[in-house]
């Protein structure tokens, strides 16, 4: 078989498209904040020092939720350092990334920036060097209306209305030996329970994320989640998952098939959470917060101890190629296909640090290759995710055995079908989409993100080398929509439908 077939039926769906799946991550790491989203004096900076060019790109990307302030950074962070008059804020050592943290950018600046982007916060609290008390103080500052010590301090800082932050991460990667103040699963499970309890007393309307494993490669993966959740299941709404897919360690076919591992991880974490629910006799079901995911050649990173003390250093400023765009597209497809159990997902990170947006200090901002599959998916994945029935040729991978060359997801919204498809193979892949059950198509289109040279990148000198481009050749004949997916490509195939189910239009694509 050298072609693929998808069958779509509106009667079979995964669930609604959860908008929080298009989340991102701003950590005080490298140049994500300083000279990334924030650079006073830059020609594009507004009066608050926020780079308008980056705000515009984040909006164009369709980012819906942003995790902040870390990451490993949060585990040694004192949030009080980043609020109030900028001139009074202390400069501190950030132990996570050996950075000099000026605290010029903090909670208030982040919330102002987030308002400009039009996204929702996913706020992390420090459960490394701190605990219940500081998390309680922080939520009193952000969410309590006024008349108390911390809420009045917020008002004194010029913010009369509470921020009303809904989603909170209880620490970050607490299983990691690199984490400042790392914990055993028992220690963390207890602390997460007590912190959640205190935070919910201040604001019962919040949603809480417990830390799962920082990677499937952790020796405690699986047992960590089970032990932590046995302590805090009733208090939390999500269990987190993190994963980075390495382009340089291992075989290329396994890298292109990284989404297989993401799928196994989602299913493994859900199985573990449901196992705890069964043990506890709970009918409540948790969702996964996949709050760090991306392509990152982690094996090339020398580790935290290889870094020298600096402010806004250049750390892991990965330059992504066309193949990375296909991998990122397949990861988004996997998240969509699990929209029934994945409620939040944050690509890590937003600017400069393993990021879809690159900037230069004093210079331009541009879109990396991986920006494009994210922006297309965030813009077009609307309504309901349909269950995709697919057959496709297989490719051999060292890590996952035989894997289909095709990854695909589909959404249906108000007469608009969007099919997101990745061809992982190095040959063009003809695809037939069986649209049984859908009304008559009145217009179809096909956009691809690919390059004949899969190592092509977008750089400061050539920022638009890899961009989405429309492909001719998509056709509809009766119930069959056909097109060809270029080698190693991310694709968006759209169909518009009239409401009545009459005979299908024949002939070539109308756009
Ligand atoms: O995103 C970079 C780092 O990766 C984060 O700080 C940490 O949580 C993860 O290990």
Average of per-residue pLDDT across 429-450: 92
Ligand 1 atom nearest to CA at 294:
1
Residue whose CA is closest, atom 9 of ligand 1? 71
102: left (phi over 0), alpha (psi -120 to 50) or beta: alpha
- Type and span of the H or E element at 389: strand 389-391
Average of per-residue pLDDT across 354-378: 98
- 413, two tokens: 């919204």
To test the ligand 1 pocket, which listed residue (169, 348, 352) has its Cβ within 8 A of the most ligand atoms?
Answer: 348
To test the ligand 1 pocket, which listed residue (67, 171, 172, 241) has its Cβ within 8 A of the most ligand atoms?
Answer: 172
Residue whose CA is closest, atom 4 of ligand 1? 71
For residue 60, the CA-to-ligand 1 centroid distance in Å is 25
Residue whose CA is closest, atom 2 of ligand 1? 71
Which domains, ranges and CATH numbers included, belong to the chain? Answer: 4-11+384-508 (2.60.40.1180), 18-380 (3.20.20.80)
d(Cα 415, Cα 439) in Å, to the nearest integer?
8
Average of per-residue pLDDT across 134-157: 98
SS (H, E, C) 74-110: HHHCCHHHHCCCHHHCCCEEECCCCEEECCCCCHHHH
229 touches 239 (CB < 8 A): yes
Strand segments, DSSP code E, in 190-318 are 207-210, 238-245, 287-295
Percent of the chain clearing pLDDT 70 (strictly above):
97
Catalytic residue among 18, 39, 140, 173: 173
d(Cα 10, Cα 385) in Å, to the nearest integer?
9
For residue 268, the CA-to-ligand 1 centroid distance in Å is 21
Average of per-residue pLDDT across 186-192: 98
171 touches 228 (CB < 8 A): no
Is the pLDDT confidence value at 454 over 70?
Answer: yes
Interaxial angle between packed helices 132-143 and 185-202, expressed in degrees from 0 to 180 and rounded to the nearest 10: 30
368 touches 357 (CB < 8 A): yes
> Which residue is associated with the tokens 């998808």?
6
Ligand 1 atom nearest to CA at 176:
10
CA angle (271 as vertex; 265, 273 as ends), nearest 5 = 105
Residue whose CA is closest, atom 6 of ligand 1? 71
Which tens digit of pLDDT belongs to each residue from 396-412?
Answer: 999 999 999 999 999 99
In this predicted structure, what is the pLDDT of residue 1? 59
> What's the start-to-end Cα distance of the chain, in Å?
30
For residue 327, the CA-to-ligand 1 centroid distance in Å is 19
Average pLDDT, the chain: 95
Catalytic residue among 18, 263, 292, 318: 292
In this predicted structure, what is the pLDDT of residue 440? 79
3-state SS assignment for residue 401? strand
Average of per-residue pLDDT across 472-495: 95
- 159, two tokens: 């913010």
Question: Is 44 part of the annotated catalytic residue set?
Answer: no
d(Cα 352, Cα 122) in Å, to the nearest integer?
20
Which range among 49-63, 342-356, 431-445, 491-505 shows the weakest confidence by mean pLDDT?
491-505
Confidence of residue 510 (pLDDT cuts 50, 70, 90): very low
Ligand 1 atom nearest to CA at 29:
6
403 touches 394 (CB < 8 A): yes
Strand segments, DSSP code E, in 104-213 are 120-125, 167-170, 207-210
Average of per-residue pLDDT across 54-73: 98
In this predicted structure, what is the pLDDT of residue 478? 86
Nearest to 132 by CA among 176, 192, 86, 88: 192
Residue whose CA is closest, atom 7 of ligand 1? 71
d(Cα 335, Cα 22) in Å, to the nearest integer?
10
Question: Is 88 part of the annotated catalytic residue set?
Answer: no
In this predicted structure, what is the pLDDT of residue 249? 87
> Which are the contacts of 71, defined by CB distance < 8 A and separation ≥ 6?
25, 27, 28, 29, 96, 124, 172, 292, 348, 349
Nearest to 17 by CA among 332, 252, 237, 394: 332
Ligand 1 atom nearest to CA at 348:
1
Interaxial angle between packed helices 185-202 and 223-232, expressed in degrees from 0 to 180 and rounded to the nearest 10: 40
Ligand 1 atom nearest to CA at 27:
6
For residue 497, the CA-to-ligand 1 centroid distance in Å is 43
In this predicted structure, what is the pLDDT of residue 439? 83
In this predicted structure, what is the pLDDT of residue 503? 42
CA 445 to chain centre: 27
Average of per-residue pLDDT across 19-46: 98
Residue whose CA is closest, atom 3 of ligand 1? 71
> Which residue is associated with the tokens 């585990």?
75
Which range among 12-26, 264-278, 291-305, 493-507 shows the weakest confidence by mean pLDDT?
493-507
- Type and span of the H or E element at 489: strand 489-497
Ligand 1 atom nearest to CA at 72:
6
For residue 71, the CA-to-ligand 1 centroid distance in Å is 5
Average of per-residue pLDDT across 326-340: 98
Is the pLDDT confidence value at 119 over 60?
Answer: yes
d(Cα 346, Cα 294) in Å, to the nearest integer?
9
Residue whose CA is closest, atom 8 of ligand 1? 71
For residue 72, the CA-to-ligand 1 centroid distance in Å is 6
For residue 246, the CA-to-ligand 1 centroid distance in Å is 14
Please compute, for residue 258, the number of CA atoms within 13 A of its CA located in the half-sphere on the CB side: 28
Average of per-residue pLDDT across 58-70: 98
In this predicted structure, what is the pLDDT of residue 499? 54
For residue 320, the CA-to-ligand 1 centroid distance in Å is 18
In this predicted structure, what is the pLDDT of residue 491? 98
> Which are the contacts of 178, defined by CB distance < 8 A and separation ≥ 6?
72, 303, 304
Task: Report residues whose beta carbon is within 6 angstroms of any ligand 1 atom.
Answer: 27, 29, 70-72, 172-173, 214, 292, 348-349
- 296, two tokens: 């990152």
Nearest to 382 by CA among 363, 354, 409: 409
Ligand 1 atom nearest to CA at 178:
10
363 touches 460 (CB < 8 A): yes
Cis previous bond, 69, omega within 30: yes
For residue 354, the CA-to-ligand 1 centroid distance in Å is 10
pTM: 0.96
């Amino acid at each position: 078989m050298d072609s693929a077939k998808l069958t779509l039926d509106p009667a079979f769906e995964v669930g609604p498209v959860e908008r929080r799946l298009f989340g991102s991550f701003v950590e005080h790491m490298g140049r994500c904040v300083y000279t990334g989203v924030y650079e006073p004096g830059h020609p594009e900076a507004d009066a608050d020092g926020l780079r308008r060019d980056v705000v515009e790109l984040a909006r164009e990307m369709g980012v819906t939720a942003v995790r902040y302030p870390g990451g490993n950074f949060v585990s040694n962070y004192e949030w009080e350092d980043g609020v109030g008059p900028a001139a009074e804020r202390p400069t501190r050592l950030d132990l996570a990334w050996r950075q000099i943290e000026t605290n010029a950018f903090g909670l208030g600046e982040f919330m102002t920036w987030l308002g400009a982007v039009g996204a929702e916060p996913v706020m992390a609290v420090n459960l490394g060097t701190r605990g219940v008390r500081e998390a309680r103080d922080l939520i009193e500052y952000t969410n309590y209306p006024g008349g108390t010590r911390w809420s009045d301090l917020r008002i004194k800082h010029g913010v009369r209305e509470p921020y009303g932050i809904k989603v909170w991460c209880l620490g970050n990667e607490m299983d990691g030996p690199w984490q400042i103040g790392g914990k055993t699963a028992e220690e963390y499970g207890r602390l997460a329970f007590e912190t959640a309890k205190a935070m919910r007393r201040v604001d019962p309307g919040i949603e809480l994320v417990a830390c799962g494993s920082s990677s499937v490669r952790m020796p405690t993966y699986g047992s960590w989640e089970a032990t932590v959740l046995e302590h805090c299941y009733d208090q939390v709404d999500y269990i987190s998952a993190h994963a980075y897919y390495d382009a340089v360690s291992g075989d290329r076919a396994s890298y292109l098939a990284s989404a297989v591992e993401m799928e196994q991880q989602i299913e493994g974490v859900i199985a573990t959470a449901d196992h705890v629910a069964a043990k506890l006799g709970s009918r409540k079901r948790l969702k996964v917060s996949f709050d760090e995911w991306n392509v990152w050649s982690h094996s090339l990173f020398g580790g935290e101890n290889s870094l020298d003390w600096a402010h806004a250093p250049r750390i892991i400023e990965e330059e992504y190629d066309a193949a990375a765009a296909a991998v990122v597209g397949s990861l988004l497809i996997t998240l969509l296909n699990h929209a029934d159990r994945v409620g939040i997902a944050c690509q890590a990170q937003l600017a400069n640090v393993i990021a879809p947006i690159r900037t230069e200090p004093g210079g331009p901002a541009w879109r990396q290759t991986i920006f494009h599959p994210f922006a297309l998916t965030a813009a077009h994945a609307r309504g309901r995710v349909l269950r995709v029935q697919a057959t496709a040729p297989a490719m051999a991978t060292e890590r996952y055995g035989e894997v289909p060359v095709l990854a695909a997801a589909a959404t249906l919204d108000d007469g608009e079908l969007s099919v997101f498809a990745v061809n992982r193979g190095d040959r063009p892949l003809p695809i037939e989409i069986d649209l049984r059950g859908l009304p008559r198509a009145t217009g179809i289109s096909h956009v691809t993100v690919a390059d004949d040279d899969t190592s092509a990148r977008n750089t400061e000198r050539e920022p638009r080398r890899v961009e989405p481009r429309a492909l001719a050749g998509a056709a509809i004949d009766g119930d069959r929509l056909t097109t060809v997916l270029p080698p190693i490509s991310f694709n968006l195939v759209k169909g518009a439908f009239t409401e009545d189910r009459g005979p299908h239009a024949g002939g070539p694509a109308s756009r």
